[in-house]
A and B are shown apart, each in its own frame.
Chain A
Amino acid sequence: MLGRGILRGLIETWRNFQGSYYDPARLTTVQYPEQKLPPQENARTFPFLVYDGEDFLAGMRCTACSICAQECPAHCIKIVKDTAKKPDYLGKMQFQPQVFNIDMAVCMECGICAEVCPFDSIKMDHVFELSSSDRLMVLQKADLAKSNDYFRQIHPAEAAAVDAARAGEQRKAQAKKDASPVPVAS
């Protein structure tokens, strides 16, 4: 009650003041547009669609099952199923989306879509510098598609786990195919 606490506070702010000129620990602010901190691995901003290989239309993992669109609390995902099918990584024929739109103005970056996706297709991105001078904030399929390499780059641990699981399934499917008797043409 004798003002000792005030003095201690004053000393601390003084240390901050003079330390800010030579001690990086006393000046932790990053000058944003020039300096950027690397994002945390588990950071999440907006969803994107993972595809394998080079061509995003051929390698798109999405099967247009619409679970993400139904689970989305903000209803910002719009999916229209295509009539044509394409083979997935196991060789099974799957549906594919004709239209896959996400309204960025509505999306609240909760990540529920990524959690519920059974095909490891929709994942959360790291991009955050998204301001633009137009109001077109509905991203199309082509805008959303990003390669698996990119996914490995931003979420190394999760991507490795997904890749391992998928490789295991592929091996299992291959083994099943090898074990099954070859249908003889009659």
Chain B
Amino acid sequence: MNALDPIFISTLHWLAGLAPASVRPLVSMLLVIAGLMAVFGSCFALTTILERKTLGRMQNRFGPNRVGPFGLFQPLADGIKMLIKEDIVPFSADKTLHFLAPLALTVPVWLAFSVLPFGRNMSAIELDAGILFFFAIGSASELAVFMAGWSSQNKYSLVGAMRAIAQMISYEVPLVLASVPVLMAAASLSLPDIVQAQSGFALGWVPRWNVFTPWGLAGFALFMIAAAAESNRCPFDLPEGESELIAGFLTEYSGFKYALFFLGEYLGLFAVTGLAVTLFLGGWQAPARWLEWFPSWGWFAAKFSALIFLFIWARATLPRLRLDQLLNFAWKFLVPLALINLLAAAVWLKSGVWRFPAAAEIRWLLCAGLLAVPYVWLARNWNGVAPTQRHYNYAE
């Protein structure tokens, strides 16, 4: 425990204490909201530029480096551009829905941040069913996307929205299923409790994070893949596939509404990344005992940035999937594996009481094997057998 750790909470209490007692709860709530919006808003700006620079480096080029030192003012320039662009509403569009869609995407995404524990005692609302709230709020973005696609009265928008719906609903299943073992292990739906359940060190030095168990590792991988698809990230960004759909459901959006969609997409990514940190990487816990001098929110930020980098890295590497591949991948690979992962987690949790010699090793091997064998089988078979010879019915 150190002095820096509760700095945000003490600042909040001090600021709220300046207000009269009758409005103090309201003021403190508003301060939390303002703080979250400031932190993750600037995080969004920073991510856009760092993502572009990282992508550039990974593709043997510099990335934006003209505006300000190292191009760091690029988001500012982009923001000004977005703000002063003409906001075009198509003549035949459903004007109300067209206007509401960006808001319907952005508002629930902000709400999702309210349950994440960013540090010790640092969650805006401590809900007993925080993760349930998170997934319920997260699924509201599907509605917004379809609103955008439908109200634009444009075939590309509609096809893009339909793809987005198919993708988001399909990947919601493995996303939730991958996080269920964590709930089983923590025996709680509350996110601070889940973080607390991952405290301590096995063998004195391995942190008891979920990712260091067989089911946790598999769950983490499944969760990250599903999270990338949920937030429309590459390689699952085909609702916006430029090559065939112009910009998908964003086709008829311009100016600030487009910026709002962009913001919503990135915030959704941040929220789900924060959840991944919370569920699998021990939340705000330090990775070693001698590193506990670093503030808890600092650890959360470090893990969070590492995962964001992982997403950017995957985006720089992987090409886009085809729609049928995408859905087959969700239903024939991720969902079965997530279900098997549930079984492996159950075996792991039930075998915790084993007290015979080498029980820990056997437990590890059993659970890892329970996952590895189906993984190999599913990975070889989910997309059918690869054709060795192409057959052309008419061209030969």
Contacts and interface: CB of A to CB of B under 8 A. Distances in A.
Interface of A: 1-3, 6, 9-10, 12-14, 16-17, 20-21, 26-29, 31
A144 B379 CA distance: 65
Contact of B60 (A1, A6, A29, A31): A29
B317 A1 contact: no
A6 B62 CA distance: 24
Interface of B: 54, 57-62, 313-314, 316-318, 375-376, 379-380, 383, 386
A151 to B, nearest CB: 35
Contacts of B60: 16, 20, 26-29
Contacts, number: 47
Nearest to B381: A1
A27 B53 CA distance: 12
Given A9-B317, A9-B318, A16 B59 contact: yes
Contacts of A29: 60-62
Contacts of B375: 2
A3 B383 CA distance: 13
A10 B235 CA distance: 13
B359 to A, nearest CB: 30
Nearest to B376: A2
A27 B59 CA distance: 8
30 contacts: A1-B379, A1-B383, A2-B375, A2-B376, A6-B317, A6-B318, A9-B317, A10-B313, A10-B314, A13-B313, A14-B58, A14-B313, A16-B58, A16-B60, A17-B57, A17-B58, A17-B313, A20-B57, A20-B58, A20-B60, A21-B57, A27-B57, A27-B60, A27-B61, A27-B62, A28-B60, A28-B61, A29-B60, A29-B61, A29-B62
Contacts of A3: 379
Contact of A31 (B57, B62, B314, B317): B62
How would you classify the secondary structure of chain B's contact residues: helix, strand, loop or mixed? helix
Nearest to A20: B57
A1 B386 contact: yes
Nearest 9 interchain pairs by C-beta? A29-B61, A13-B58, A20-B57, A9-B317, A13-B317, A17-B58, A17-B57, A16-B58, A2-B379
A6 B329 CA distance: 15
Contacts of B317: 6, 9-10, 12-13
For A6, A12, A13, A16, the residue with the greatest tally of chain B CB atoms inside 10 Å of its CB is A13
A29 B60 CA distance: 7
Contacts of A12: 317
Given A3-B379, A20-B58, 6 more contacts: A1-B379, A2-B376, A2-B379, A10-B313, A17-B54, A29-B60
A14 B59 CA distance: 10
A14 B57 CA distance: 9
A29 B63 CA distance: 10
A111 B130 CA distance: 70
Contacts of A13: 58, 313, 316-317
A166 B61 CA distance: 47
Given A20-B60, A29-B62, A31-B62, A1 B380 contact: yes
